[in-house]
């Protein structure tokens, strides 16, 4: 509800709309300038923009987590201050009648109180009781002074935490502003890639080059080390593999024609139209041999299933597996995203046999 009210307030504020429009224009100008550098790789430019956006997003998220933690500490500091104040007030309230009694006793005097004893035993008893009363009152007074100091410390802690909370809120706001600017720049870059034929063709050519580099990378992957599980029997799973993520098939294996520019690209895998954040799972047992960034593929996880078979899932939003980790069928590898993607969130899935890409569709269960 609070987010909705904020969105409505921004929509109703012409100044906020103007600032958002100017930020979008600045992002478009920066995107055009960067893409105008003919000698520069489009994929490198997109990678830089995406990394800058994700770095800014990470800074904002950390600041927001710190702000939430600080808000919780502030609430605790307020409670501590109230508890300390209650303890101090209770001790002071208890001391008031004792101090009044001491004042009355001072008028009579300790000597008069002791001298009025009826006997020696009564005198000793009165002296002992008086000492006990005085010691108790002195202890209560010390406790009240300590409670006052404790309340003062709690108040100082509350004020310091409130100041820290304000600083963290400002840092989170600045981080969100920077992340929004970087995100707009990335969107403008992608729009340029999709909108200009020359840029689109350059991006497609670079993507083909990265596909060849990926093939070389897979061919150079070392076999499992001695003592590790050696997986076999993957070939018997043909036609029975589960989909790595839920969603419709958007592009098949092989040659794909761009409907706008009529350019032809070769797909080494399939594209699954899964929603952002959808879980991506291993289709069979194996060992993760790569989990990290690969230009043109974004966050990429490669699983070695033995007998020369590998599966690849690319453009992940997040990765849940690490290189060297053994996974079972259905193990979470990450989530669907648009890292390194030229057209938004989807899942790129490849199956390779001895480094050669093969059509995954006959291998998937109906």
Segment 330-359, tens digit of pLDDT: 999 999 998 888 778 999 999 999 889 999
Q: How far apart are CA 274 and CA 91, in angstroms?
A: 65
What are 322's two structure tokens?
């690490």
Quick one: residue 109, left, alpha or beta (phi over 0 = left, psi -120 to 50 = alpha)? left
Q: Does residue 164 form part of some domain?
A: yes
- Whether residues 50 and 165 share a domain: the answer is yes
From 195, 216, 247, give the residue that closes a domain: 195
Query: Average pLDDT for residues 14-38, to the nearest whole number?
Result: 57
**Domain contains 143:** yes
On whether the CB atoms of residues 336 and 316 are closer than 8 A, the answer is yes
Which segment of 35-44, 87-96, 355-364 scores lowest on mean pLDDT? 35-44
Residue range 245-257, pLDDT digits in tens: 999 998 888 887 7
Domain count, the chain: 2
pLDDT at 130 (0 to 100): 60
DSSP 8-state assignment for residue 294: E
Question: Is 116 domain-assigned?
Answer: yes
**Residue 236, pLDDT score:** 93
Q: Are residues 243 and 124 in the same domain?
A: no
For residue 276, being part of any structural domain is answered with yes
- 272 and 350 belong to one structural domain: yes
Beta-ladder partners of 266: 255
* 171 and 244 share one domain: no
- Residue 278 vs residue 366, higher pLDDT: 278
Residues 32 and 111 in one domain: yes
Asked whether residue 191 falls in the same domain as residue 320, the answer is no
Range(s) of the domain holding residue 343: 227-363
For the ranges 59-63, 119-123, 312-316, the one whose mean pLDDT is highest: 312-316
Looking at residue 126, its pLDDT comes to: 57
Q: For the residues 14-21, what does the mean pLDDT come to? A: 57
**Residue 3 in 3-state DSSP?**
helix
Helix (H) or strand (E) holding 254: strand 254-257
- Could you tell me the CATH number of the domain that includes residue 94? 1.10.287
Contact (Cβ atoms closer than 8 angstroms) between residue 224 and residue 230: yes
pLDDT score recorded for residue 2: 40
Please report the pLDDT score of residue 278 as a whole number.
Answer: 94
The share of the chain scoring above pLDDT 90, in percent, equals: 25
Q: Return d(Cα 100, Cα 102) in angstroms, integer.
A: 5
Q: Does residue 263 share a domain with residue 189?
A: no
- Is pLDDT at 39 greater than 60 in this prediction? no
Question: Whole-model pTM?
Answer: 0.57
Q: Are residues 340 and 232 in the same domain?
A: yes
- Give the model's pLDDT for residue 273: 93
For the chain, what is the mean pLDDT?
A: 75
pLDDT at 136: 66
Best CA proximity match to 91, nearest among 41, 141, 155: 141
Shared-domain flag, residues 270 and 184: no
3-state secondary structure of 287: strand
Q: Tell me, yes or no, whether 319 lies in a domain.
A: yes
- pLDDT above 90 (res 214): no
Within a domain: 106: yes
* Stretch 218-232: mean pLDDT: 68
Assign 114 a pLDDT band (cuts: 50, 70, 90). Answer: low
Which residue do the tokens 């500490």 mark? 73
* Within-domain flag for 26: yes
Q: Do 88 and 233 belong to one domain?
A: no
Domain final position from 195, 211, 239: 195
pLDDT at 270 (0 to 100): 93
Sign of CA dihedral 229, 230, 236, 239: positive
Tell me if residue 214 falls in helix, strand or coil. Answer: helix
CB atoms within 10 A of CB 354: 11
238: left (phi over 0), alpha (psi -120 to 50) or beta: beta
CATH code (residue 316): 2.70.70.10
Co-location of 30 and 139 in the same domain: yes
CA-to-CA distance for 288 and 311, rounded, in angstroms? 10
302 shares a domain with 162: no
């Amino acid at each position: 509800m609070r987010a909705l009210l904020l969105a409505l307030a921004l929509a109703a504020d012409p100044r906020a709309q103007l600032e958002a429009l100017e930020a979008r224009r600045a992002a478009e100008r920066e995107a055009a300038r960067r893409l105008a550098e003919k000698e520069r790789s489009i994929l490198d430019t997109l990678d830089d923009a995406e990394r800058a956006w994700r770095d800014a997003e990470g800074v904002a998220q950390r600041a927001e987590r710190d702000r939430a933690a600080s808000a919780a500490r502030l609430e605790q500091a307020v409670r501590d201050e109230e508890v300390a104040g209650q303890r101090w007030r209770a001790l002071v309230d208890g001391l008031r009648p004792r101090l009044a009694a001491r004042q009355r006793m001072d008028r009579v005097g300790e000597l008069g109180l002791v001298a009025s004893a009826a006997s020696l035993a009564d005198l000793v008893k009165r002296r002992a009781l008086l000492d006990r009363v005085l010691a108790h009152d002195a202890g209560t007074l010390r406790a009240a002074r300590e409670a006052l100091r404790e309340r003062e410390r709690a108040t100082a802690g509350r004020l310091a935490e409130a100041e820290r909370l304000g600083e963290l809120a400002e840092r989170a706001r600045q981080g969100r502003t920077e992340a929004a600017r970087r995100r707009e720049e990335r969107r403008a870059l992608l729009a340029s890639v999709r909108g200009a034929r020359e840029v689109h063709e350059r991006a497609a050519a670079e993507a083909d080059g990265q596909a060849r580099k990926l093939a070389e990378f897979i061919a150079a992957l070392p076999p499992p080390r001695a003592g590790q599980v050696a997986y076999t029997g993957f070939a018997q799973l043909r036609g029975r593999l589960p989909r790595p993520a839920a969603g419709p098939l958007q592009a098949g294996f092989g040659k794909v024609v761009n409907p706008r520019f009529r350019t032809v690209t070769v797909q080494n895998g399939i594209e699954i139209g899964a929603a952002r954040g959808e879980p991506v799972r291993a289709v069979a047992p194996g060992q993760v041999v790569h989990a990290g960034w690969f230009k043109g593929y974004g966050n990429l996880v490669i699983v070695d299933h033995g007998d020369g078979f590998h599966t690849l899932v690319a453009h992940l939003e997040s990765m849940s597996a690490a290189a060297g980790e053994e996974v079972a069928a259905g193990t979470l590898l990450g989530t669907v995203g648009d890292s390194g993607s030229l057209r938004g969130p989807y899942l790129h899935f490849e199956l390779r046999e001895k480094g050669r890409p093969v059509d995954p569709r006959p291998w998937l269960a109906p």
